Structure 1
Amino acid sequence: MKIAFLIDAFPVLSETFILNQITGLIDRGHEVDIFARNHRDSLEMHPDVRKYRLDGICTYLSHPPKNRSTCITAYLYLLFRLTIRHVGIFHLLAEMLRTRNMKELFGLTYTLAPILGKSYDIIQCHYAKNGLSGIHLKKLGCNAKIVTMFHGHDIRAGLDDNDIPYRDLWRYGDCFLAISEYTRDKIIGFGADPTSIVYLPVGIDTSCFPLRSDSRPSENNTDGIRLISVARLVPDKGLSYALSAIRRVLEKLPGVEIEYRIIGDGPLQESLLNQVHELELENIVTFVGGKAQPSVRKELEASDIFLLPSTAEVLPVSLMEAQSIGLPVIASDVGAVREIVVDGRSGYLVPQGDPQHIADHLIKLISQRKNWKEMGRTGSAHIAAHFDIKHLTQRLEHIYTGLSTNISPASLNEQSK
Structure 2
Amino acid sequence: MNDTHSHERQATRVAYLVNQYPSISTTFIRREIHALERLGHSVTRYAIRRPWVQVVDPEDKREETRTHYVLDLPIYVLLGSVAAVALSHPIRFVAAIRLMLTFFRSAGSLFRHLIYLAEATVIKRWSDRDQITHLHAHFGTNSTTVATLCRQLGGPKFSFTVHGPEEFDRPIQLALGKKIACCEFVVGVSRFGCSQLYRWADFADWPKVHLVRCGLDETYFNFAWTPVPQSPRFLAIGRLNEQKGMPLLIQAAAKLARDHVSFELTIVGDGPLRETLQTLIEQHQLQSRVVLAGWKTGPEIQTMIQQSRTLVMPSFAEGLPVACMESLALGRPVIATAVAGIPELIRSGVTGWLIPAGSVAALCHAMKQAIDTPQKEIERRGNRGAARVRQRHDVRREAKKLSNHIIGLTVSKKRNHHNDPSRRDSALKIFPDDSTTVPFVSSKAN
| TM-score in same-fold range (> 0.5) | yes
Aligned ranges for residues 78-227 of structure 1 at < 5 Å?
78-84=82-88, 88-92=92-96, 106-117=114-125, 118=128, 119-129=131-141, 130-142=143-155, 144-158=156-170, 162-192=172-202, 193-208=205-220, 210=222, 213-217=225-229, 221=230, 224-227=231-234
Q: Relative to 1, partners in 2 of residues 1:274 and 1:96: Cα closer, same or farther, differing over 3 Å?
A: closer
Distance 2:273 2:111 in 1: 35
- 1:14-29 matches, within 5 Å, as 14-29=25-40
Check if 1:11 corresponds to 2:10.
Answer: no
1:385 counterpart SS class: helix
1:230 aligns with 2:237: yes
Q: Secondary structure at the match of 1:35?
A: strand
CA contact (8 A) 2:167 2:176 kept: no
**Structure 2 CA distance, aligned partners of 1:76 and 1:43?**
30
Q: Which amino acid aligns with 2:343?
A: R
**Whole-angstrom distance in 2 between the partners of 1:85 and 1:209:** 49
- The alpha carbon displacement at 1:394 in A equals 1.4
1:156–1:302 CA distance, 2 compared to 1 (3 A): same
Give the drift of 1:59.
Answer: 0.8
SS in 2 for 1:330: strand
For residues 249 and 326 of structure 2, what CA distance do their matches in structure 1 show? 19
Choose from 48, 53, 69 the match for 2:59: 48
Query: What SS class does the counterpart of residue 201 from structure 1 fall into?
Result: coil
Hey, what's the Cα distance between the residues in 2 that align with 1:331 and 1:102?
40
Q: Distance in 2 between matches of 1:381 and 1:407?
A: 39
Pairing 1:2–2:13 present = yes
Contact 1:24 1:390 in 2 (8 A): yes
CA distance in 2, matches of 1:239, 1:41: 22
Compute the displacement of 1:246 (Å): 1.8
Query: Could you say if the C-alpha distance between residues 83 and 414 of structure 1 is closer, same or farther in structure 2, counting changes exceeding 3 Å?
Result: farther
| CA RMSD, 1 decimal | 2.9
**Aligned residue-pair number:** 400
1:262 lines up with 2:270 in the alignment: no
| Percent of residue pairs bearing the same amino acid type | 21
In 2: Cα distance, 1:195 partner to 1:149 partner:
15
Q: Aligned AA for 1:28?
A: L
Q: Provide, for residues 378-413 of structure 1, a one-character-per-residue CA deviation record: whole Å limited to 9, x for no partner.
A: 111111111111111111111111122247587796
- 2:55 and 2:289 map into 1 onto residues whose CA distance is 25
Please tell me the residue identity of whatever aligns with 1:248: K
Q: Does 1:401 align with 2:413?
A: no
Tell me how far 1:216 sits from its aligned partner: 3.7
**Equivalent-residue separation in structure 1 for 2:183 and 2:369 (angstroms):** 48
**1:391 equivalent in structure 2:** 397
Task: Measure how far apart 1:104 and its partner are.
Answer: 5.7
In structure 1, the residue matched to 2:5 is: none
* Higher RCO (CA 8 Å, separation ≥ 6 residues): 1
Find the aligned partners of 1:61 and 1:148 in 2 and give their Cα distance.
19
> Unaligned 5+ residue runs, structure 1?
none
Q: 1:124 to 1:415 in 2, by over 3 A?
A: farther
Letter in 2 for 1:59: H
Residue 243 of structure 2 aligns with an amino acid whose one-letter code is D
Return the match for 1:239 from 241, 246, 255.
246
State yes or no: 1:250 paired with 2:257: yes
After superposition, the C-alpha distances for 1:274-331 in whole angstroms (9 at most, x for unaligned) are 1111111110001110111111101111111110011111200001001110112111
Displacement of 1:112 in angstroms is 2.6
* Distance verdict in 2 for CA 1:393–1:168, change over 3 Å: same
